[in-house]
Structure 1
Amino acid sequence: MRNAELAKLDGLIGEWKTTLSDAWFLEPPGTEVPAATTIERLGESFLVVRIEFGGGAHNSGMNLVIGRSDANDIYVALYEDERGVCRQYAMTFDGARWILNREDPDMYQRFIADVEKDRILGRWEASEDQGKTWRKDYDLTFERSRG
């Protein structure tokens, strides 16, 4: 039986042309890295987000598995990438705003995105002082290519 709360994320499902931009760590300033993102169901209770970055020295990828803790009435997301990084995020989604948040001993981090039918405008931010101040790591723009 399909998870009703996860069904609220159906608008994210599809294929997206993605661009990473305005990253403090990329040289020269203004560098944009193209990516392809696929968001699909995994069974009846999960979504999988796969982002494949391309372009010269910027070949990499990241994966996110989104599910629900029904007993706690919350979304949960697990993240991993080719560096061997594995992180857990609390997640909220109201149809227009998508937020991933983690408050771990090593760093606080969040993804904040405005969701439209065929476009998602998001940014990753980090805090090294337990959320007192935030710096933007980079912007992620998703344009629907199929879905």
Structure 2
Amino acid sequence: MRNPDVEALDVLVGEWKLTIADAWFLEPPGTKQHGSATARWIGDAFVELRAELNGEHMWHFMFGRSDANGQLVTLYHDPRPTSRVFRTTFAGGEWVMLREDPDFHQRFVATVTADRIDGHWDASQDAGVTWRKDFDLIFERST
């Protein structure tokens, strides 16, 4: 039986087209990158999201719940190799992932519907006092 907090992530399950836009690190300004993502259940406890851009595996997320603190958590990994943990909320059409680590703070904020997710990634070098937008990330359902 799935925990209701994790069950809310079911809207992510499926195939998605991805678009990254308005990224400070892409040249020239206005450049967009396209890719795909797949989300699936792993048993009753986890949702796995894998995303690719330009045909390369870029991101791997595992969503689950910590019963001890009643919090959704996300484990993240990419090929650099970088691994991170995010506190996650997912309710009322809003998806937020937040990490507050000594190196820098990072957040993803998105509006979620059944067929589209409009989000953006931000970073903070001053413990969340000011934020810099990294990029917009749009998911459009494929199936």
The alignment status of 1:138 with 2:131, answered yes or no, reads no
Q: Which runs of 5+ in 2 are unaligned?
A: none
RMSD, aligned CA: 1.1
Count residues with an aligned counterpart.
143
Q: Percent identical across equivalent pairs?
A: 51
Counterpart of 1:137, as a letter, is D
Partner of 2:65 in structure 1? 68
Counterpart of 2:132, as a letter, is R
Give the alignment of 1:69-88 within 5 angstroms. 69-88=66-85
Shift of residue 120, structure 1, vs aligned partner = 0.1
The alignment status of 1:14 with 2:14, answered yes or no, reads yes
Shift of residue 4, structure 1, vs aligned partner = 2.9
Counterpart of 1:116, as a letter, is T
Whole-Å Cα distance in 2 between the matches of residues 12 and 95 of structure 1? 14
Aligned with 1:24: secondary structure?
coil
Deviations 1:26-72 (A, max 9, x none): 111111110101011111100001001116xxx44110000001221
Aligned with 1:10: secondary structure?
helix
Counterpart of 2:25, as a letter, is F
Whole-Å Cα distance in 2 between the matches of residues 95 and 38 of structure 1? 22
Deviations 1:81-131 (A, max 9, x none): 010100000000113100000000000000000001100000000000111
Partner of 1:37 in structure 2? 37
Contact 1:8 1:95 in 2 (8 A): no
Whole-Å Cα distance in 2 between the matches of residues 80 and 11 of structure 1? 22
Q: Which runs of 5+ in 1 are unaligned?
A: none
Whole-Å Cα distance in 2 between the matches of residues 71 and 132 of structure 1? 29
Counterpart of 2:27, as a letter, is E
Contact 2:87 2:98 in 1 (8 A): yes
